[in-house]
Amino acid sequence: MITSKRVSLILLALAMVAMAVAHPLQLAAQAATPKSSSGRDSSGGVQWSVQVVQVDPGDVNLSPSFQIAIYESLLQELGKTKQFKQVLREGDRNATEVSDLLILKTTVQKYTAGSETRRAVTTVSGATKLTVRSQLCTRGGQVIVERTVDGNVRFLGSNLRATHNLARNVANTIKQSALPEPSLSVPAQGAQ
């Protein structure tokens, strides 16, 4: 009886691990939809470039490591989507030469620190939760996409993993949003 229970527990654990491994792979496969790198998307239209601005912590007491982790993860995840011709960093001087540029602003709205140990011990508490407002704007300040996005770690993983999940959700949200054609955009008024 005890042996069968132990075997079933092991099987359950293996199934959970398999699901945890398979889920990111599935998302990565979705994100890797091929698009041309010549500045045109699959429909033949001109692609935007995007410049990611550093995360604004707002009124939330967010540690610098989280701010940096969100910023770097956003750059990584937006690059993976291949939706944009170029993904530029804040302050990059090359941005002044890019004509069709969108600026991604991220403001933290809610943050629950959580605890990896508490998650491991209790399973139901200790989740790390992040909620941000993401705005995709033109250089002129016109907001094209505005969404509130979450990134959580509920079971497995370190607290910083929440930033990775958040960035992946932001990238997916932007990918699913219908962006206007760059030619219809407001003329450039100077890079940020």
Partner 1 sequence: MNRRIVPAEHTPHGYMPMPHRVWAYLILLIGCAVAALAQNASPPTNVTAPFSAQVTHLMGFEGAANNAGGTLSIQGSALQFQKNGKPAVEVSIASVQDVFAGDQSRQVGGLPMTLGKAATPFGGGRVVSLFAHKKYDTLTLEYVDANGGVHGAIFQLQKGQGGTLRDELVARGAHVRQSEDEATKQSTAEVSSDHK
Give contact residues for partner 1 (rule: CB under 8 A): 2, 5-6, 9-10, 12-14, 16-17, 54, 61, 63-65, 67-69, 71-73, 88-94, 113-118, 120-123, 156, 158-160
Cβ of residue 32: shortest distance to partner 1, in angstroms? Answer: 18
Cβ of residue 114: shortest distance to partner 1, in angstroms? Answer: 8
Nearer to partner 1, 122 or 177 (CB): 122
DSSP the chain: -HHHHHHHHHHHHHHHHHHHHHHHHHHHHHHT----SSSB-TTSPBPPEEEEPPPB-TTS---HHHHHHHHHHHHHHHHHHT-SS-EEETT-GGGGG-SSEEEEEEEEEEEE---HHHHHHHSSS--EEEEEEEEEEETT--EEEEEEEEEEE-SSS-TTHHHHHHHHHHHHHHHHS-PPPGGGSPPP----
Cβ of residue 2: shortest distance to partner 1, in angstroms? Answer: 8
Nearer to partner 1, 73 or 81 (CB): 73
Cβ of residue 166: shortest distance to partner 1, in angstroms? Answer: 14
Nearer to partner 1, 135 or 159 (CB): 159
Nearer to partner 1, 44 or 64 (CB): 64
